[in-house]
Structure 1
Amino acid sequence: MYRVVVADDEMLIKRTLKKLIEYENSPFTVIGEAEDGGEALEWISVHRPELVITDIRMPVLDGLELISEARSRAPETIFVIISGHDDFSYAQQALRFGVADYLLKPIKPDQLREVLDKVEASLDQINRSELERRDRLWFIKSRAEVLAEALWLLNGESLSGLLDDLHREFSSSTPGLEGRAKGFWLDLLSFVNGALEEKSSGTILLFGDKGADLSEDPDALRGEIESLFTRKADEIRQSRNWQSHHNMKRTADFLKENYSNEKLSLQDAADYAGISPSYFSRMFKEEFGISFIHYLTRLRMERACELLRDPLAKTYEIAYAVGYQDYPHFAKVFKKLYGVSPSYYRKAMGLDAPSSD
């Protein structure tokens, strides 16, 4: 439901508007009525309604003053002005304030309905755009974490493949995405920066504002982004103790081969590396930027995400495959990491399959 505040100093007009706005199956509901501009501003400040229908001439604050004051408090709110014939030029001035439309008194039901239909379409589009933006940021953030991991591990082959995949995604011809590749890459760099800062405890210089100089052309962008990552990999490589790095990388391969073993422990990994558990724990954190248990958990959960894309696999079988005999514990860990349950993740991927949660 879209929330509406009606502002008019005439009670009869407010009652008429409320009745006309809340027609059967209407997407609008009147949450507040104000007798003057000051009271209307309080409603807007506290409740941030999607729509305000206001008379252009009111005590305390007139319609234009109300809109001007409200813009800084609820910039997303849509305004519709009501005016008399004598105020027609005033109403036209209101349109320059970004008002969606205006209605002349006496208000005709069919004209109000037409305005409400237009406002509804606009609000629906805003909601769709916001949802698409959130979904895309979630996708970009998840890819940025994988990219940062590949960069931190200096895995050039994986890094190049990931960048190719993102180039295809960001250069999509999907309606609404044209010309937005640079913005997507800048969002990605921002998330990668955060991940690198966490992994390096602030010791690795980040990308900074280099992204501002990137090309607008999607194909040129692909090469420029790879150059940024190549230079960053060189910085990381120069900062490393390579003997320790090689040992930790061998241990990471060991974990990737044995993560499905529920009993796999830090002691096992330290024994494989040939060092004490305490020293191993410290070196592991320095190498990968996260603790051993967090690394192992992420490894298992990333593999779980891959398996969840198989519509024939049951979620409890996936839990067993990644080292969790206790399915509820697996589901709890998955949701803590990704913010959604395994079954919801699967639905978000557009898959309907057998589920245990």
Structure 2
Amino acid sequence: MFKVLLVEDEEMIRKGLRFTFDWMGAGCVVVGEAENGEDGLRQIAELRPDIVIVDVNMPLLDGIGMIEQSVEEADCSYIILSGYDEFRLAKDAIRLGVTEYLLKPLEQEQLLAALERAKGQLAMKRQYSAVLTSGAANGEALQASVVKLPGKSSRYVSRMIRYVQEHYAEKIGIKDLVESLGVSATYLNQKFKSETTYTFNDFLNRYRIQKAMDLLRSGEDKVYAIAADVGYKDYKYFIAIFKKYAGCTPSYYQERYGLGQNSGEAAGDSHTKQAD
């Protein structure tokens, strides 16, 4: 069972989440509640939850501030709740490696999907820690955990996977496939998720990060150049996505596993491990 902490200042929403959602069915158990960010920090330290579901706007300390203060020490994944579709908050959430940014009112299916992604992120973080602890000589074990191709897939999904493999370095999206395949984006996403367990965008990010790992391990290119080579024109966004899936910064990964032992670090990246 994954331990969940709820951090929400509105009691009705907090209690509603706790008592109306099927936590057992999701493989989770709620171990505590907090009504502000300061109480949330205290309970994170005491309860050591696996997943923290946190509201953005709270008294004393807001959700983003709470995550900033806890992210270095806590071994957990975060799911943000907000009543506002604010791009600034979404960018902050990405920067901090938050698993999901959900808008209220929250639907059961949305929360269930977010919990599954949070559990997947936790598994990757912990596998990465095991790789470091065991002193593995290379990053193959970690790399294998980033993306897995299905053994068999339908015609639609096979085309989608092949499209990613051929065009991952370009600016692409599921809408690029709608016209050529003659079906809706909603249908394609549902079909892709059912056969691969990933959404199309999640798979695209995972595939790009796996390619980035290959380049970081085998070459001596600068990290910002590798980011562009795998389809990320925004260097800082690449770092955030790499940290989300790999559990560390690109330059740390390159230092640890690169053949040339060169960091390729650019401004704004860090040598230190970020997510364990």
In the superposition, the TM-score normalised over structure 1's length comes to 0.37
Q: Which has the larger radius of gyration?
A: 1
